[in-house]
Homo-oligomer: A and B are copies of this chain.
Amino acid sequence: MHTDILESLLVSTHRLTRLAAQATGSTTPAAQWRTLSILAAEGPMRVGELAAASRVTQPGMTRLLGTMVEEELVTRIADRDDSRAWLIVVSEKGTKALAAWRAQLAETLDPWFGELSDADWATLEAAASLLETRLASDAAVAAS
């Protein structure tokens, strides 16, 4: 285990997160676009699934969704098969907000990342995809 590499990644991406937070201004809390990003990538899912995907607890996700529903970024749709559950879907407003956030992110991070070479981007992409695979909700269970 190369803990030092993971540690460096954790520290660096903390900085990246802070930087991104400043990019979007105070109007777009980090947890919201993270959730939107997951929903946009993986499609509608239940509260519990979303919590697992984001690796937060279910009550934490419920609370976050409360504010996101209020702001009409996502919609709760009743699950036909199980009336205890909800399907969370990104609303049109949510889609637009995510697009706007992405644009702002690109613009703000340009001074730091605008001049990367293709090889550098390839490295980042490989690392991102590697992490994504490893950190998928049930990767650890599947491996055992």
Contact = CB atoms under 8 A, between A and B. Distances in A.
Interface string A94-138: 000000001101100111111110001101111111111011000
A67 interface: no
Nearest to A40: B7
A13 interface: yes
Interface of A: 1-20, 34, 37-38, 54-56, 102-103, 105-106, 109-116, 120-121, 123-132, 134-135, 139-140, 143-144
B131 A13 contact: yes
Given A3-B105, A14-B54, A16-B135, 17 more contacts: A1-B110, A1-B113, A1-B114, A3-B109, A8-B132, A9-B127, A9-B128, A10-B13, A10-B17, A11-B37, A14-B34, A15-B54, A15-B131, A112-B134, A112-B135, A123-B126, A124-B130
